[in-house]
Amino acid sequence: MSVPSDKVGKRYPPLTYAVGREKIREYAAATGFEHPLHHDLDAAHAAGYADLLAPPMFVVVYCASLFQAALLDPELEIDFAHLVHGGQAFSWQQPVIAGDEITTTLTVKDISERAGLRFDTFETVSVNQRGERTAVGTWSTIIRGEER
């Protein structure tokens, strides 16, 4: 199994995602986030928001294509057939509102091997159009060695 640890620190070009009102409704419906602030424009306005509020886990929507692009980077030599998502962490800062434009950067934080398994860690940092941080993500993958 290849372990290209010299790629730790590699950073990918930032990606900007425009947050749409119907995308928030669609994501919230698909995950069961029923709070009115994700669905009801009047409720969002009454709470002082300009538009619908994204559920916290909407972070995966605005980070997903960057994460997928990193996994497809040939320099990382990821064996898809044996790849599993091992762990995930997020911290949240500023709320995300429909109409926001969120720019995310992704960095390879770790590539290491233990007991025949390869462990990769990626970090995403997302900011809104005012440069305020909205979320930081830590994405951990495990690649199993060839089957014995």
Partner 1 sequence: MGVEVGEQFELRVTPDRYTTIRYAGASGDFNPIHIDEQFALSVGLPGRILHGLWSMAQVARAATDAAGGDPLALTELSVQFRGMARLEQEIVISGEVQAVSEARARVKLEARQGDTRLIRNAQAELLLR
Q: Which residues bind partner 1 (CB under 8 A)?
A: 23, 26-27, 29-33, 35, 37-38, 53, 55-57, 60-61, 64-65, 68, 81, 84-92, 95, 138
Between residues 7 and 25, which has the closer beta carbon with respect to partner 1? 25
- The region, left, alpha or beta by phi > 0 then psi within -120 to 50, assigned to residue 82 is alpha
Q: 124: closest CA among 145, 110, 104?
A: 104
Q: Which residues pair with 64 in a beta bridge?
A: none
- The distance of closest approach from Cβ of residue 48 to partner 1 in the complex, given in angstroms and rounded to an integer, is 12
Instruction: Report, in Å, the least distance between residue 95 CB and partner 1.
Output: 6
Q: Is the Cβ of residue 58 or residue 108 nearer to partner 1 in the bound state?
A: 58
Q: How far is the CB of 89 from partner 1 (least distance, A)?
A: 3
Give me the sign of the Cα torsion angle 60, 64, 68, 69: negative
Alpha helices, H only, the chain: 21-31, 41-46, 59-71
User: Which residue's CB is nearer to partner 1, number 61 or number 111?
Assistant: 61
